[in-house]
Amino acid sequence: MEPEQWQRVKDVFASALECDPRERHSFLDAACGLDAELRFEVESLLESDESSGDFIEKPPPELNLLLSDERPAVAEIGKRVGAYELVREIGSGGMGTVYLAVRADAEFQKHVAIKLIRKGMESDLILNRFRKERQILASLEHPNIARLIDAGATPDGQPYLVMEYVEGQPIDHYCEMSDLSIRQRVALFRDVCAAVQCAHQSLIVHRDLKPGNVLVTPLGQPKLLDFGIAKLLEGRQDPSPAPTRTGMPLMTPEYASPEQIRAEAVTTVSDVYSLGVILYQLLAGRYPYTRKGNSIWEVQRIVCDEDPAKPSSVALRGPLDTAAENVVTPAKNRLTRELRPRTVSRQLRGDLDNIVLKAMAKEPSRRYSSAEALSEDLRRYLDGEPVAAHPPTIRYRALKFARRYRTSVTAAALLFVTLAGGIVATTQQAHKAQRERERAEASFERANRERARADNEAAAALAVNDFLRNDLLAQASANIQARPDTKPNPDLKVRTALDRAAARITGKFDNQPLVEAAIRQTIGDTYTDLGLYSEAQTQVERALTIRRRVLGDKHPDTLTSMQKLSLLCWYRAKYSDAEPLLIQVVNTRRHLLGNANRDTLSAMNDLALLYWYQGKSADAEPLFKTVLETRRRILGQEHPDVLSSMTNLAGLYVQQGNYASAETFFAKVLEVRNRVLGPEHPDTLLTMNNLAVVYWDQGQYRPLKSCSLKCWP
């Protein structure tokens, strides 16, 4: 099943779980429509969910020790652990219990916190994680991180950690109970950033930052706790073998970054995201997202797909009513209860809004590069200096929206996408035309020809722009939707708008055939992005017909349409139609542009891939090799296009059973990507996974294990 299809199955299944069982049949009728496969998959999941009964809610007796909240903690009270005696339980987690303890010899009074692995949970995985936490704590020295004092094992072999006892409140409760102002909260939060930065400088990612893991003492000093699921980054020597990852990654989903939710590579900026969520909560008094259900997929949906409202707009709502809102935080925001909401909102509006939302950006590359950078921007805010954070551009928001709702984006999003994309592209073409006119003045005769061509291009670009604005975007306007011949639709979708616009092209540009071709190509490209390949092929075929007639078979625009048409045939599994088109593009570009031209190499690579997909490895291999050798010579050994060609050839070798050659190529690609992109870049991890597959196919289990543990820490 394709990833997009599986995501659709998960979304419908999650929504169905929230429905009254008596209404599920009607819901599935509406949600699945005529998609029988989708309905079958969702109903299968629902049946599995029902057949599982109450296993999760009521575990069998043998699992009670692991899953029950009723731990035999009382039996441990008074027990001696090292030089200390356990006094009372003060907390518990997934693998252990934390006790308040005092010196047993009474030589001096000292309170400590002792963490013991819960009896019955001494598995290799838990023990390795416990040892890793001990190693991490031993390496950290910072006034805002709880210190490790001692470690050892009880006479019966139960491991323990002796840590600094922190008497305090979770940071969100402390801020509320202490009535801290906005500026005081920001200053306190900067101390937390300093603690996280210290961990990052030691190549440690916490991975579970949340208010409950940041306690603030009565003196106002925050202390970072619980490195139980922290991760050692590449470069730190980890003495214990990494456990195999199974199921959902360890984390608190409400504070986890999108990449943690998706089980992707975790880096220090993953902690920056979690810091952003905490800061949002401290300033606005609420969790950034509103959940519509309790399933893990609902958390995944909101964290990965929904943009949080600005903290200032949330604060404007006034005091928090936890009974009326589905929120995670238990705090009731005194700022908005005792001050006028508009006063708090004004303090958050602008710089603090931008800082929080930058820290919480969905894409890691758009966040602050470090906890220190986040703290520094907060310092600028406190000192009245310009901050580095700024709102995302209209173009970025439009493209992001379009990617997220690719198959059902509304006309409002279409307006943004077209203005930010199509009109910007038109402006660029107009600038290009102007530059060409200026160059042409050097020669009168040449100038006339170039000026005419540039004018035609500019006119064509403006005509395309007019069509996009007046015929495509206008579909969403109130005036058009109010006409008697148009059925009003407040949720007009891209598909509907495109269909209407495509129907209006015929006959509209009889005197401007190249404008019609450009418009049809644009609409075809959009259909392709939406996965509507049949509709896309209709438009691209017409664009190609016009360009062949007006420009000839050798014009660059004609060849572009030809290559895109071949890919559409390929996507629709019409290989016999795709192959001759691609061969013609390759041969023409070779003749006109040469073998070393980037467009020529792109077409050759597509043709090799097409051969490979058809099982014609004898035709694909020499073409892959030619593209690789040419790209190496022109671009160098480490260019992304070269690495892509090496990956393609290695994949072909795997299909042929030539594992030695495949291993050589994948290993070289991995070495370069590991050095250039870093060990946790998605491309590096993908290459590592490919290499693991080769080891598996060859039965080389020792390198397979090493590779797999690096790929799935």
Please report whether residue 362 resides in a domain. yes
3-state class (DSSP) for residue 265 = coil
Both tokens assigned to 360:
């919480």
| Ranges assigned E (strand) in 93-225 | 96-103, 111-117, 148-153, 159-164, 169-170, 204-205, 214-216, 222-224
Taking the C-alpha atoms of residue 187 and residue 182, their distance in angstroms, rounded to an integer, is: 9
Q: Are strands 159-164 and 111-117 parallel, antiparallel or unpaired?
A: antiparallel
Identify the domain boundary among 351, 369, 392.
Answer: 392
Q: Which range of residues forms the domain containing residue 26?
A: 3-58
d(CA 280, CA 359): 10
Task: Tell whether 201 and 121 lie within a shared domain.
Answer: no
Sign of the Cα torsion 252, 253, 256, 262 reads: positive
| Residue 419 counted as domain residue | no
Q: What is the pLDDT of residue 80?
A: 87
Say if CB 461 and CB 429 are below 8 A apart.
yes
pLDDT at residue 708 above 50? yes
Determine the pLDDT at residue 32. 74
Same domain, yes or no: 110 and 257? no
Q: Which residue has the tokens 């092209």?
A: 505
Q: Among 5-14, 505-514, 565-574, which range has the highest average pLDDT?
A: 565-574
Per the CB < 8 A criterion, the answer to whether 368 and 336 are in contact is no
528: in domain: no
- 151: β partners: 161
Element (H, E) at 91: strand 84-92
Q: Are residues 361 and 231 in the same domain?
A: yes
Question: Is residue 535 within a helix (H) or strand (E), and if so which, with residue range?
Answer: helix 533-551
The pLDDT tens digits for 392-431 are 554 444 444 455 544 444 444 444 344 445 444 444 554 5
> Tell me, what CATH number does 217's domain have?
1.10.510.10
Residue 128 maps to a domain: yes
Q: Does residue 434 register a pLDDT over 80?
A: no
Confidence at residue 321, expressed as pLDDT on a 0 to 100 scale: 41
Tallying the residues shown for the chain, one arrives at 713
Q: At 688, which CATH number?
A: 1.25.40.10
Domain harbouring 95, CATH code? 3.30.200.20
| Residue 600: closest CA among 571, 570, 567, 626 | 626
Three-state SS at 2: coil
Backbone angles phi, psi at 113, to 5 degrees: -110, 130
* Mean pLDDT confidence for 651-680: 88
Cβ-contact 98, 130 below 8 angstroms: no
Whether 181 and 153 map to the same domain: the answer is no
Residues 343 and 360 in one domain: yes
Q: Which of 392, 418, 437 is the last residue of a domain?
A: 392
Q: Which of 438, 411, 412, 506 is closest to 467 using CA atoms?
A: 506
Q: 151 in helix, strand or coil?
A: strand
Q: What would the pLDDT profile of 326-372 be if each residue is shown by its tens digit?
A: 443 434 455 544 455 667 778 888 889 999 999 999 989 889 989 99
Residue 609 inside a domain? The answer is yes
Structure tokens at 233: 């980054």
Residue 185 neighbours by CB under 8 Å, 6+ apart = 175, 282, 283
Instruction: With a cut of 90, say whether residue 679 has pLDDT above it.
Output: no
Q: How confident is the model at residue 129 (pLDDT cuts 50, 70, 90)?
A: low
- Computed over every residue of the chain, the mean pLDDT equals 74
* Residue 290 resides in a domain: yes
Q: Are residues 194 and 302 in the same domain?
A: yes
C-beta of residue 312 within 8 angstroms of C-beta of residue 352: yes
Interatomic CA distance for residues 221 and 215, integer angstroms: 8
Cβ 514 vs Cβ 460: under 8 Å: yes
294 and 195 within one domain: yes
* In a domain? residue 481: no
Same domain, 265 and 342: yes
Q: Are residues 160 and 174 in the same domain?
A: no
Residue 17 inside a domain? The answer is yes
Active site residues: 208
* Distance, CA of 632 to CA of 643 (rounded, Å): 9
Residue with tokens 């795709």: 578
Q: How many CA atoms lie within 13 A of 628 on its CB side?
A: 17
Binned at pLDDT 50, 70 and 90, residue 436 comes out as low
**Domain stops at, among 164, 196, 222:** 164
β-pair type (231-232, 204-205):
antiparallel
Contact between residue 642 and residue 658 where contact means Cβ atoms under 8 Å apart: no
- The answer to whether residues 240 and 279 belong to one domain is yes
User: What pLDDT, on the 0 to 100 scale, is given for residue 134?
Assistant: 73
Q: How confident is the model at residue 382 (pLDDT cuts 50, 70, 90)?
A: very high
Taking residues 225-231, what's their average pLDDT? 68
* 636 three-state secondary structure: coil
Rg (CA), the chain: 31
Residues 318 and 356 in one domain: yes
**Overall domain count for the chain:** 4
Domain shared by 323 and 229, yes or no? yes
